[in-house]
Amino acid sequence: MTNLKNDRFLRALMREPVDATPVWMMRQAGRYLPEYRATRARAGSFMQLCSNPDLACEVTLQPLERFPLDAAILFSDILTIPDAMGLGLYFSEGEGPRFERPVRDEAAVRALGNPDPEGELRYVMDAVRTIRRELDGRVPLIGFSGSPWTLATYMIEGGSTKTFSRCKAMLYDRPDLMHELLGKIADSVIAYLNAQVVAGAQALMVFDTWGGVLAPRDYEQFSLAYMERIVHGLVREHEDRRVPVILFSKGGGQWAECIARSGCDGIGLDWTVDIGEIRERTQDSVALQGNLDPAILYASPERIREEVARVLESYGYGSGHVFNLGHGITPDVDPDHAGAMIEAVHELSRAYHQ
Amino acid sequence: MTNLKNDRFLRALMREPVDATPVWMMRQAGRYLPEYRATRARAGSFMQLCSNPDLACEVTLQPLERFPLDAAILFSDILTIPDAMGLGLYFSEGEGPRFERPVRDEAAVRALGNPDPEGELRYVMDAVRTIRRELDGRVPLIGFSGSPWTLATYMIEGGSTKTFSRCKAMLYDRPDLMHELLGKIADSVIAYLNAQVVAGAQALMVFDTWGGVLAPRDYEQFSLAYMERIVHGLVREHEDRRVPVILFSKGGGQWAECIARSGCDGIGLDWTVDIGEIRERTQDSVALQGNLDPAILYASPERIREEVARVLESYGYGSGHVFNLGHGITPDVDPDHAGAMIEAVHELSRAYHQ
């Protein structure tokens, strides 16, 4: 880990000693920052921001200028892969992301290609290279992807959904077709994440935003199994360094033991579980990332500090904890409150690392 | 239980022997039924439907005409109490329920009254009386209320929310004020549910739709504590009959042991937990209601039957299971698929009750 000035994040993921608990925030480059909103306005649309490596780099670095964060995360979207597969991603006012050509039958599944990370997705790799260069070893860069199940929900429904009616109908009525689709997506995710590592990503995270809407057995078969396939397909060493991978299923804390057995290095936890209890249940076999309720950032800096203290105390002594929110920071949060959280983590965590 | 022709539901809640597992569906009187949509259109608005005892009775009974359900549930809304407290409930197009006067400060909390169940809320009690009379002992009638925490989220936010920013800011910054508000709501819920029992409700259910968005300790202090207060404030015997009460926190399966200690008779479970595992963890101390994924109703009748079999097998032998979906039936489900589920429950469950 020679040229890294701050390797707390990577060390914590490998459960090696650290001086303080590392901290970063999901969506740390996001709308709660006025400087982000300014760049976003300049870019035009959200996808223009994602697909311009210089602008993506600019917003990735913005939170690091403000706060002493211990990691940067590539600014991108989880829907880049389905878009590159030819589904036609667009954003409609008030409805969020939509696909022009959703995947709803055998023919559509069979027609899906495996996008070339240095072809259709080159703009993402260019962003990784640019960010890595501009970071200049300050902190590690996290690359990421959506999980196969989560991507499949958008690909089948054609956008966001509350009922998951189409993707669950496929899961229950045509499990064979669902498995074929998930297998294709998993292969694309493996190629995509490995290319991010070659381009400069030093850790990886798989976002399984919708794993928690599945029944336990379905979660294992249709979400976790494909994340496990990804973990085993990833290049885990690059330039003589371990590339740790974090799996995050929102609402999946109850399945932490199963997730820990996937071969991942860390598990992301939302705020609905007690991180100390999960540590006990997973017996220190993996690192844990989380798990402050993002809504605590609406409270006063004093209360934020108290709640940070509580999460740190729950995790307890020793390395293996990456402090984070349990979900992305929300757009209407005061940036100073995020700062208060980060400061509290660094200050209060030292006692647990002596 | 003299005049009840079908008491399976009540017997299962008291873990007394039954011939087959009873089944009902959350939102069984709802938009998936064409006859409901016709009555709703005649009523004008949703609130006009709720507030007209004859029409509320009509839609309550509709699913019983179609399916051999083992319980009826009062057709009403969880927001009747805050509306009766003077918050000014209205429904805006595409946004769902809204309040004209949300509760955001001490003055607003202090000003809240305790609505008279036979005054402002008399229309609900009239509906209970009408339904009970028209049911004529076919199946028991379930009365219900929202939980204090769930009602508080709507009252503070002024409607539905994704971020829970205002209510969580109050919870974290002004826990004293939040407790004062929750205490007031709990008192109103107790009076409201007891009046429903006197009017004819034979079992009660508390819907804690948003308990699952809380961190574990906050759930215990701000949601479960007030449901427990309600359980202890309820008339549990009426006309020489036990009036069982079910608590349902969506996303709360992981806290089942705590919920079981509240004094309730049954726990509602969503589909993200294994009902057999929860039975083990709660050691048969309470009945369990659930927990089929409502999205299974989008699949074929054959697949629905298989998944019903799986839930029944997971619960296993003996009484104490009330079959239900893990959440409300969705508007775009084919009513015949609901019928297939109900038939499968009655048929396949007999083997577990011999």
Task: Indicate which residue of A8, A32, A70, A77 is catalytic.
Answer: A77
d(CA A324, CA A269): 9
pLDDT tens string A83-93: 999 999 998 87
Using CA coordinates, name the residue in chain A closest to B297: A169
Nearest CA in chain A to B255: A273
Look-up of token digits 């983590």? A345
pLDDT at A1 (0 to 100): 42
Interchain contact, B295 vs A163, CB within 8 Å: yes
Average pLDDT, chain A: 96
pLDDT at A290 over 90: yes
Predicted TM-score (pTM) of this structure: 0.95
A299 neighbourhood in chain B, CB within 8 Å:
168-169, 172-173
- Residue keyed to tokens 């004020």: B177
Integer Cα distance of A214 and B143 in angstroms: 29
pLDDT at B2: 46
Candidates B273, B278, B298: best to mutate against A (most CBs of A within 10 A) is: B298
- Residue B334 is classified by DSSP as -
What tokens were used for A203?
């850790």
Instruction: Answer yes or no: do A298 and B271 touch at CB < 8 A.
Output: no
Residue B158, pLDDT score:
96
Residues 169-208 of B with CB under 8 A from A: 169, 172-173
A330 neighbourhood in chain B, CB within 8 Å: 163, 165
Residues of A whose CB is below 8 A from B212: 272
Nearest-angstrom CA–CA distance, B233 and B212: 24
Q: Tell the burial category of B281 from Cβ atoms under 10 Å away from its Cβ (0-12, 13-18, 19+).
A: middle
Give contacts of B 288-347 with A, CB under 8 A. Answer: 293, 295-296, 298-300, 303, 307, 330, 332
When pLDDT is averaged across residues A122-126 and rounded to a whole number, the result is: 98
Residue B308 Cα distances to B17, B303, B354, angstroms: 20, 9, 19
Is residue A94 scored above 90 in pLDDT?
no
Q: Which residues of A fall within a CB distance of 8 Å from B214?
A: 272, 293
Q: β-pairing, B89-92 with A241-242?
A: unpaired
Residue A276 has pLDDT above 60, yes or no: yes
For residue A2, what pLDDT band results from cuts at 50, 70 and 90? Answer: very low
- Provide mean pLDDT across the span A83-110: 92
A213 touches chain B (CB under 8 A): yes
pLDDT computed for residue B91 by the predictor = 86
- pLDDT > 90 fraction of chain A, expressed in percent and rounded: 95
Structure tokens at A215: 């029944």
CB A290 within 8 A of CB A252: no
Q: Which residues of B touch A274 (CB under 8 A)?
A: 216-217
pLDDT score for A282: 97
Pairwise CA distance, residues B85 & B148, whole Å = 13
pLDDT given at position A326: 97
CB atoms within 10 A of CB B167: 27
* Cβ distance of B295 and A168 shorter than 8 Å: yes
State the pLDDT at residue A96. 86
d(C-alpha A293, C-alpha A311), whole Å: 10
Instruction: For tokens 């005409």, name the residue.
Output: B65
Query: What are the tokens at B157?
Result: 């936010």
Mark whether A274 is an active-site residue: no
Considering only CB atoms, B173 lies closest to which of A173, A253, A300, namely A300
Cα-based angle B225, A209, A47 (whole degrees, multiple of 5): 135
User: Residue A95: pLDDT above 80?
Assistant: no
Instruction: For tokens 């003589």, name the residue.
Output: A240
Of the partner residues B212, B213, B303, the one whose CB lies closest to the CB of residue A172: B303
Nearest to B215 by CA among A325, A245, A279: A325
Tell me if chain B has a CB within 8 Å of the CB of A220. Answer: no
A310 tagged catalytic: no
Cβ–Cβ gap B271/A168 under 8 Å: no
Residues of A in contact with B332 (CB under 8 A): 163, 165
Verify whether the Cβ–Cβ distance A332 to B163 is below 8 Å.
Answer: yes
Contact residues, chain B, for A168 at CB < 8 Å: 293, 295-296, 298-299
Instruction: Say yes or no: A254 contacts chain B, CB-CB below 8 A.
Output: yes
pLDDT under 70: residue ranges of chain B:
1-2
Instruction: Name the region of B245 (left: φ>0; alpha: ψ -120 to 50; beta: rest).
Output: beta
pLDDT above 70 (res A168) = yes
Q: Which residue has the higher pLDDT, A33 or A240?
A: A33
Averaged pLDDT for residues A326-333? 96
Which residue in A has a C-alpha nearest to residue B304's C-alpha? A172
Say how many C-beta atoms besides its own lie within 10 A of residue B41's C-beta.
Answer: 9
The percent of residues above 70 in pLDDT, for chain A, comes to 99
The mean pLDDT value for A203-217 works out to: 97
As a dihedral over the C-alpha atoms of residue A6, residue A11, residue A12, residue A17, rounded to 10 degrees, the angle is: -100
Smallest Cα–Cα separation from A269: which of A310, A207, A326, A313? A326
**Cα-Cα end-to-end distance for chain B:** 22
Cβ proximity of B353 and B20 under 8 Å: yes
- What dihedral angle (degrees, nearest 10) is formed by the CA atoms of A206, A210, A214, A217? 0
